């Protein structure tokens, strides 16, 4: 059954959710305070890169199934269910800043004219939904019943459309059977297609999201800790991850050792969980997350130090040219928030190096976040006269690069593969000194011979 839905906050999460809801057959209004963004979305333009999303928005804007406004009053009038998708950025203390969420409640609730379900999708500290209830009760017009539910979002950038339409689980944090029924109705299609549903109370639903991200971060830092040991002992972290991953209690996913995690979610959620646990007087419960964060930071230090070791240093200043392949925090995204690649590039630039970056999608946001760096139009141009080449975001096109062309463009011969994802044998064959993070670099075996170990780890 088609539902009239509003999606408040049309950033990454909200724009995707609004388009996804329209695709599931609902009538959707997206709300944002940013007029320019609203105009752009209404004409099918996205202010960020996400495969398949502009097409999905255009498909539903055309027949009027999806529209956008800056007016919360219009949304209040139109919709029966309001999804709140505003940002909860990291505040000074590491705790989440809930001011956007509060502003939505303050603007929406007094405008409501009938009984309504307000569904939080934003990532929030556990206990937030409960804390909103008195605020909502104070603002709701008399006779209007406003119920709160929490339905966290697990979409991955780069796969956002797929993850929204085919969620690998739906978590419905509700306080009444009516709210559960309403949300099951919204998600009737994916539920019919087999997406598992977990119904819980509000704090559980809130905690699922941050704990899922903290767990993923822990998995990445765990394998990066093993990579540190591999570097000291001659073990190979890629084979180790394969061997661990065959145990289906562990699983191979998120055991990709390298430069570590970044982006708008994992780093922020790890710190927000620490901050919330401390606020609750239970910092010890998540003490290990400090280690997770620290291991992640050390990976970046390691790559910076290795690159600097290749450059000439005079009075503590580095001289030389560095090519950085990748600026986004991961491939298939133009997001540079807390990007390990951009962080390393900036630190090398601050140390004195002349740093040129190439990224297939993120040049514009990278340039605005790091205007002090130079940006090239392609990988070969970035590598021109470089003393060292750093591969820091594993875009598929970097795997297809011709190492001989890059060798001819560059001045030096050192490749640091911060993502352990290039094929070392073709780079070695082209004369590169290949350095990785905890993996062994071997020459491809010729038929009938054993592979030869040629060393080369960071």
Which residues are known to be catalytic? 265
b/e map of 371-394 (b: 16 or more CB within 10 Å)? Answer: eebbbbeebbebbeebbbbbbbbb
Q: Which two structure tokens, joined as six digits, stand for 170?
A: 């739906």
Residues paired with 7 in a beta bridge: 30, 83
For the chain, the distance separating the N- and C-terminal CA atoms, rounded to the nearest angstrom, is: 57
Shortest distance (Å) from residue 335 CB to ligand UDX: 8
Residues numbered 310 to 329 that lie near ligand UDX (CB under 6 A) are 329
Q: Is 254 in the site for ligand UDX (CB under 6 A)?
A: yes
From the list 199-207, 262-270, 342-350, 439-447, the region that binds ligand UDX by CB under 6 A is 262-270
Nearer to ligand UDX, 210 or 389 (CB): 210
From the list 93-101, 110-118, 250-258, 318-326, the region that binds ligand UDX by CB under 6 A is 250-258
Q: Which two structure tokens, joined as six digits, stand for 150?
A: 């929490």
SS3 state of residue 83: strand
b/e map of 220-241 (b: 16 or more CB within 10 Å)? Answer: bbbbbbbbbebbeeeebbbebb
Site string for ligand UDX, 128-167 (x = CB under 6 A): -------------------------xxxxx----------
Cβ pair 104, 72 in contact under 8 A: yes
Cβ pair 393, 329 in contact under 8 A: yes
Shortest distance (Å) from residue 1 CB to ligand UDX: 27
Cβ pair 179, 186 in contact under 8 A: no
Q: Which of 11, 107, 190, 256 binds ligand UDX (CB under 6 A)?
A: 256
Shortest distance (Å) from residue 153 CB to ligand UDX: 6
Q: Is 266 in the site for ligand UDX (CB under 6 A)?
A: yes
Q: Which of 20, 190, 260, 412 binds ligand UDX (CB under 6 A)?
A: 260
Q: Which of 14, 20, 107, 258 binds ligand UDX (CB under 6 A)?
A: 258
Q: Is 169 in the site for ligand UDX (CB under 6 A)?
A: no
Task: List Cβ neighbours of 241 (8 Å cut-off, separation of 6 or more).
Answer: 223, 226, 252, 255, 256, 257
Task: List Cβ neighbours of 19 (8 Å cut-off, separation of 6 or more).
Answer: 53, 56, 57, 60, 66, 161, 164
Shortest distance (Å) from residue 456 CB to ligand UDX: 21
Number of residues located near ligand UDX, criterion CB under 6 A: 20
Site string for ligand UDX, 437-456 (x = CB under 6 A): --------------------
Longest dimension (CA), the chain: 82
Give the residue at shortest CB distance from ligand UDX: 256
Site string for ligand UDX, 196-215 (x = CB under 6 A): -----------------x--
Q: Is 343 in the site for ligand UDX (CB under 6 A)?
A: no
Shortest distance (Å) from residue 341 CB to ligand UDX: 9
Q: Residue 327 and residue 339: Cα distance in Å, rounded? A: 7
Q: Exposed (0-12), middle (13-18) or buried (19+): which is 247, by Cβ within 10 Å?
A: exposed
Q: Which of 42, 188, 197, 216 binds ligand UDX (CB under 6 A)?
A: 216
Nearer to ligand UDX, 109 or 266 (CB): 266
Q: Is 412 in the site for ligand UDX (CB under 6 A)?
A: no
Q: Which two structure tokens, joined as six digits, stand for 84?
A: 């709140």
Under DSSP, the state recorded for 111 is G
Query: What residues line the site for ligand UDX (CB under 6 A)?
Result: 153-157, 213, 216, 220, 254-256, 258, 260-263, 265-266, 329-330
């Amino acid at each position: 059954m088609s539902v009239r839905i509003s999606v408040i906050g049309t950033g990454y999460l909200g724009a995707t959710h609004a388009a996804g809801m329209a695709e599931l057959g609902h009538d959707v209004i997206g709300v944002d305070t940013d007029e320019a963004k609203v105009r752009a979305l209404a004409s099918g333009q996205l202010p960020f890169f996400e495969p398949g999303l502009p097409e999905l928005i255009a498909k539903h804007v055309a027949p009027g199934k999806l529209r956008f406004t800056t007016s919360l009053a219009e949304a209040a009038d139109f919709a029966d269910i309001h999804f709140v998708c505003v940002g909860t950025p990291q505040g000074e203390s590491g705790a989440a800043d809930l001011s956007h969420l509060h502003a939505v409640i303050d603007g929406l609730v007094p405008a409501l004219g009938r009984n309504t379900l307000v569904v939080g999708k934003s990532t929030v500290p556990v206990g937030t939904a409960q804390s909103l209830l008195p605020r909502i009760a104070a603002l709701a017009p008399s006779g209007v019943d406003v119920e709160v539910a929490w339905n966290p979002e697990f979409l991955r950038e780069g796969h956002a459309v797929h993850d929204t339409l085919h969620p690998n689980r739906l978590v419905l944090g509700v306080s009444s059977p009516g709210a559960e029924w309403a949300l099951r109705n919204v998600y009737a299609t994916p539920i019919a297609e087999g997406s598992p549903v977990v119904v819980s109370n509000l704090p559980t639903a809130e905690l699922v999201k941050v704990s899922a991200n903290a767990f993923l971060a822990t998995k990445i830092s765990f394998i990066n800790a093993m990579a540190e040991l591999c570097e000291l002992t001659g073990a190979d972290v890629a084979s180790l991850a394969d061997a661990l991953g065959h145990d289906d209690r562990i699983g191979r996913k998120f055991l990709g050792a390298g430069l570590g995690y970044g982006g708008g979610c994992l780093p922020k959620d790890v710190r927000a969980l620490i901050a919330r646990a401390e606020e609750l007087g239970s910092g010890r419960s998540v003490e290990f997350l400090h280690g997770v964060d620290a291991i992640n930071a050390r990976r970046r230090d390691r790559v910076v130090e290795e690159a600097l070791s290749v450059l000439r240093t005079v009075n503590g200043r580095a001289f030389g040219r560095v090519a950085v392949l990748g600026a986004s925090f991961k491939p298939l995204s133009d997001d540079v928030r807390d990007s390990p690649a951009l962080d390393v590039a900036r630190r090398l630039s601050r140390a004195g190096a002349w740093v040129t970056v190439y990224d297939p999608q993120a040049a514009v946001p990278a340039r605005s976040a790091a205007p002090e760096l130079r940006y090239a139009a392609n990988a070969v141009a970035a590598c021109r006269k470089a003393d060292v080449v750093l591969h820091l975001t594993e875009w598929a096109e970097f795997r297809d690069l011709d190492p001989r062309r890059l060798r001819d463009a560059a001045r030096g011969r050192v490749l640091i593969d911060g993502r352990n994802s290039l094929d070392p044998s073709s780079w070695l064959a082209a004369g590169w000194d290949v350095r990785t993070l905890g993996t062994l670099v071997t020459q491809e075996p010729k038929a009938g011979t054993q592979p030869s170990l040629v060393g080369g780890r960071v």
